[in-house]
Amino acid sequence: MNAGIKGHNPSIRQVCVQRFSVVSTMSFERVVSMIEAAVGHPDIVAFTRDITTAKTFTDLERVVQNAVGPSGLMEFARYDIGNVLSKERGTQGPHILRLVIGNPLIMKRMVEHVPDAASYAPVTVLIDERPDGVHVSYDRMSSLLAPYESAEALTIARDLDTKIETMLTATAVKTENAAW
CATH of residue 107 = 3.30.310.70
The pLDDT value given to residue 7: 64
Cα 88 to Cα 1: distance, rounded to the nearest angstrom:
47
Q: Is residue 123 domain-resident? A: yes
Residue 4 has what pLDDT? 61
Q: Is residue 1 part of a domain?
A: no
- Tally of domains in the chain: 1
Domain annotation covers residue 12: no
Answer yes or no: is 29 within a domain. yes
Within a domain: 91: yes
Answer whether residue 14 is part of any domain: no
Q: Please check the confidence at residue 2 and state whether its pLDDT lies above 70.
A: no
Establish if 13 belongs to a structural domain.
Answer: no
Parent domain of 48: 19-172
Residue-wise pLDDT tens digits, 28-56: 999 999 999 999 999 999 999 999 999 99
Does any domain span residue 88?
yes
- Angle of helix 104-113 relative to helix 151-172, nearest 10 degrees, comes to 150
Contacts 24+ apart (CB under 8 A), 171-178: 171/24, 171/31, 171/34, 171/35, 171/38, 171/136, 172/22, 172/23, 172/24, 172/26, 172/31, 172/134, 172/136, 173/24, 174/24, 174/26, 174/30, 174/34, 176/34, 178/38
Res. 162 pLDDT band, cuts 50 70 90: very high
The stretch 88-102 carries a mean pLDDT of 85
Mean pLDDT score of the chain = 91
Of all residues in the chain, the percent with pLDDT exceeding 70 is: 91
Predicted confidence (pLDDT) at residue 3 exceeds the cutoff of 90: no
